[in-house]
Amino acid sequence: MLSSLTRMPSEMSSEARRQLLNAVTDLFLLDQDPTEPSKAHYGEIALRSLPHLENEARKTYAGQVAAVPSLPHEVAVTLAGDTDSEVARLVLKLSPVLTDTDLAAIAVSQSQYHLVAIAERARLSESVTDILVQRGDRNVLHTVSANEGAHFSDKGFDTLLERSSKDAEIGGALARRSDLTPNRASRVLEIVEGLSGGAGLWSKPADEAATLARRARQQRLEVKLLLADLGAGKRELDEIVTMLAEEDRAYHLAEVIAQASGITNEQALRVLLQRDVSGIAVTCRSLNLGTEAFKAVLELRSRRLLFGARDAEGDLKNYAGLDSATAERTLRFLKLKTTIG
């Protein structure tokens, strides 16, 4: 069926193409694991249809498929590179299909609105943030500096510091980051405190940024104490996880999960913020985390990844039925492979 549909007559109207694409997409999304020929045929239909659709129709379609892991790569790249940033936005933010190479190519060629969407992704590599901090405007810099899933190379971090030296809001966002090394934290603090005589060029008064910097340092100390209490058996894991999840402290939560499960902070943050829930579910079940604590984790993920309440309900139900012994074996296997999630 999909193969025959690729032979679309050239005289089809925009509305007819939209209806056809919607119908075929509904069928395609029913298959959780489509074959490569099926993906190829579907991709051909989508790529033939998209140039003939109005902006609003492309935007609606992009919203429907943005987070689909089986979306053909060329379709994802086409949507992400759409000149209308409203069409591209959700795909750039959510698509698991886009590679670092794809994101970098879009980041060097598209608008600042495209760059903001990229900066909102749950995880960003150093190669992509290098481009964002070089090309991005104030909104891009604000967004990426506050994104704890964004990783910065030394060069990229230096560029970001240089460009934020007169913006206390960016300095405050950096100061709030939980993943700052001592060296980077001290450099950020120097900038924040250097602005304490008044407001930054574009931003809120710098004394607010200094307050945020102090709060970030207090939170880092708090996590160290929580981890010590967890190791000494003075606090329950469920209590700590629930507190950090409710406060939306993803990086600190990943630190706790990493110590409890014996994986790295990077692995823990990756499974926490990737769209597929299986990695974080297996990790938490192997730790015998209760359903109420895992519910708080799911709510954090919903806020960060724009999941609906119905998705979280289904994930929680599946988690309750996940066998602890199976989860432990799976986690051991994943750690041996060093490719968790």
pLDDT tens for each residue of 126-148: 999 999 999 999 999 999 998 98
- At residue 223, what is the residue type? V
Asked whether the beta carbons of 181 and 172 are under 8 A apart, the reply is no
Among 62, 97, 132, where does a domain finish? 97
How distant is the alpha carbon of residue 163 from its chain centre? Answer: 24
Q: Which of 54, 34, 36 is nearest to 21 (CA)?
A: 54
Inside any domain, residue 274: yes
Q: Is residue 325 part of a domain?
A: yes
| Per-residue pLDDT reduced to its tens digit, 173-191 | 887 787 777 778 778 877 7
Provide long-range contacts, Cβ within 8 A and 24+ apart, for 153-157: 153/126, 153/127, 153/129, 155/130, 156/126, 156/129, 156/130, 157/184
The answer as to whether 127 is a domain residue is: no
In a domain, 121, yes or no: no
Give the per-residue pLDDT at 200.
42
pLDDT one-digit tens code per residue, 104-128: 999 999 999 999 999 999 889 999 9
* DSSP states along 176-214: H-TT--HHHHHHHHHHHHHTTTSB-SSSSBHHHHHHHHH
Confirm whether pTM is higher than 0.75.
Answer: no
Domain extent at residue 253:
236-337
Closest CA to 173 of 193, 144, 152, 149: 144
For 275, the 3-state DSSP assignment is coil
Q: How far apart are CA 256 and CA 8, in angstroms?
A: 54
User: Is residue 189 in a domain?
Assistant: no
- Count of domains for the chain: 2
Q: Which of 49, 68, 97 is the last residue of a domain?
A: 97
Query: In this prediction, what percent of the chain has a pLDDT beyond 70?
Result: 85
Residue 194 — very low, low, confident or very high, per pLDDT cuts 50/70/90? Answer: low
Q: How confident is the model at residue 329 (pLDDT cuts 50, 70, 90)?
A: confident
Task: Please list the helix, strand and coil fractions of the chain in percent, rounded to the nearest 5, in that order.
Answer: 70, 0, 30
Rounded (5°) CA angle 200-131-196: 15
Would you state the structure tokens that stand for residue 222, as one six-digit string?
């708090």
31 is a domain residue: yes
User: Does 20 fall in a domain?
Assistant: yes
Phi, psi of 171 (to 5 degrees): -60, -40
138 in any annotated domain: no
For the record, the structure tokens of 135 come out as 């090309």
Among 78, 97, 116, the domain-final residue is 97
- Residue 164 in contact with residue 191, Cβ under 8 Å? yes
The alpha carbon of 188 is separated from its chain's Cα centroid by a whole number of angstroms, namely 24
- Can you say how many angstroms the Cα of residue 70 is from the centroid of all Cα atoms in its chain? 18
| Cβ atoms of 276 and 69 closer than 8 Å | yes
